[in-house]
Chains A and B, each alone.
Chain A
Amino acid sequence: MAETNSQSIVGKLQARYGTYARGQLQSQRKQFWSYIPYSNASGNGQTTYTFFGSALGDNATPNLQRTNLPVQGSFGTSAFLLKSIQTSIYIPSNSNFGVDYSAATTTYLTDATSALWPDLVSGFAQAGILRFSVGAKNFVTIPKPFLYAPPADGRSDLTINRFIGTATPTYGVGAPEAELHRLAEEQYLVDPELYIDFQENFRVTIDYPAGAINQIGTTSLPSTSGNLYIGCILDGVEFRPVQ
C-alpha cells in the first residue's frame, strides 16, 4: 500500500535523524513474562486473569520480577515469533518458604497447612483455560494450562520429610509436596509458530468459567494479598530495529 505524504515525510526524517535504522532488524531469543496475584484483596480467587495487561513500571507491574513487557498488550517496536507458552507460579519471600514448619512439627497436617500441595493437586492448577488472542481472534486455547503448559524451567528441588516430635515412638509420616512440571519436553510448543507484528495487540487470559477457585493452602504463605503469583511466559524470537 502506498505511503501517505505524512508517512513519507516522517520516514525521511526518521531515516536521517532517527534513533534506529528503520527496516533493519536483528533477532534474538527472548522471553516475555507477566505475573499477577492469584487472590484479590479479599483473598479470593477470580474467574479471569489477564496477563500482559500492564507494562513494566505500571502500578500492577512495578518491576522486572512481574513483567518485562515494554508496552501494555503489545511488543511495542519489536515483533515476536511465539514458539512456546509456559505458565508458572512464585510466592514472595517469607520465613517458611511455603512450608508451615510450625504446624508440621506440632500438629497433624491439613490441606490448609500443606503449603501449595492442595492447590496444585486439587486447586487452581487443576482447572482453567488459557487463551492467547491477537486482535479479536483466538489463536491458542489450552485447557488446564498449569498442567499442559508447565514452566519446564528446571526449577530447583526442595525435598521434604516430616517427623512427629511429640509422639512416642517418633515416626515420619511424610509431608505432601508437589510442583509444576519442569522437564523441557513437557513444555507447550506453538507449532507452527505464531508471528505477532510490531504494535499488534495481543491478549493472554486464564479463565475459570466453571467458577473461581480459592487458594487452599493458606497458613504457610504470606498473609497479605498477592501471596501467590501466577504467571505466563511467552518464549520465542524477538525482532527489533537496529540502532
Chain B
Amino acid sequence: MATESQQITQMIASRYGTANYGNLQVLKWQYYDYVRMTPSTGVVSQKLNFFSIPQGSTDPNSGIAKTLEETNLDRNGQFTYDYVITGIRTHLYVLPKSRQNTTGAVNTSPTFTLAQNTAGGSGTGSLGVAGGTMNFLEQLSGRGNLIVNFGQKRYFEVNQQFKKCPIGAGVSIKSFGGGTAAAASATPTTGYWYSQSADTRDRYLVTPPLFVERDSIIDASIQFLDTDYSAANYTLPNLNSVSGSFAFVNVGLCFDGYAVVPTQ
C-alpha cells in the first residue's frame, strides 16, 4: 500500500506530470552496455561490470565518457522503464579502426583488418596474424561466467557466455585473406578471423521471460574465475613491436525484451 507521501506524489504526477503512468505502452526495446575489456595494461579485467555506469560517465578501463553507442542506461544500475527480458546477448567486439589504439599507430595500420601485413609478411599491424588478436578472442570465448543479479537475488548464471549468448547479428563473411608472404617461393602463412555466431537463432532466450521493475538494482558482470587467470594468459597481444600496441576490444551485454513506457 502506498504511503501518504507516495499518494500525494502520485496525485501530483497524474495531474501535472510529464508522463502518464496510468496509460502504458509496450515497446520492443533493448538495454545494452559496452565496457572496455582491458585497461591500458592490456590485461583483461577479471571482473567486467555492466549496467553500472550510465551515459556521460567515464568507463574506468577506457577513460572515455560513455555515449549512446556504448550504453542506453540513464541511471546508475537501474533501468529507466519497467522491463521484460526475453533474451540475452553478449558481444566480443574489436573497435572500428578509426577508434583504435594510437599506441603503435594501430589506428592507422594499412592492413589492420587483413591476415598479414604488406611486403614483409610479418603480420605487423594485422588482427588476423597467427597468435594475434583473433586467436586470443577465440580462446577467450571459451572462458568466463555471466552473472546477473537483480536486487540481492541471482537470476542468470551462464558459462562460456560468448558462445552461449552470442550477439546473433553481424556481417556475413564470404572469404578472408589479404597480404601474403614476403616474396615468391616464401612459405605461405596463415591468417585468422574470429566472430561470434551471427545467427539470431543462437540467441540465449529467457523462457519464461523475466520482469524487472525500473527501480531494481542491477548487478551484472562477466567474470574469469578459473585458476588459469593471470596476466600472462589474459594479455591482449600487441600488433607490432611497440609496447602497448594491442587492439581495443569492447565487451557488450544486451538484454532483449519489451519496455513498458508511460504515454506522454
Contacts and interface: CB of A to CB of B under 8 A. Distances in A.
B72 A141 contact: yes
Decide if the interface of chain A is mainly helix, strand, loop or mixed: loop
B193 to A, nearest CB: 8
Interface stretch (B28-36, B43-51, B140-148, B215-223): B28-36
A141 B30 contact: yes
A81 interface: no
B169 interface: yes
Q: Number of contact residues on B: which range applies?
A: 35 or more
B169 A147 contact: yes
Contacts, number: 171
A176 B67 contact: no
Given A129-B68, A139-B27, A211-B99, A122 B174 contact: no
Interface string A90-122: 000000000000000001111110100110111
B177 A168 contact: no
Given A122-B113, A174-B177, A190 B28 contact: yes
Interface string A168-181: 11010111111111
Interface in A173-227: 173-183, 185-186, 189-192, 207-211, 213-214, 216
A125 B177 CA distance: 20
Decide if the interface of chain B is mainly helix, strand, loop or mixed: loop
A186 B169 CA distance: 7
Interface of A: 107-112, 114, 117-118, 120-129, 137, 139-144, 146-148, 150, 157-162, 164, 166-169, 171, 173-183, 185-186, 189-192, 207-211, 213-214, 216
B180 A177 contact: no
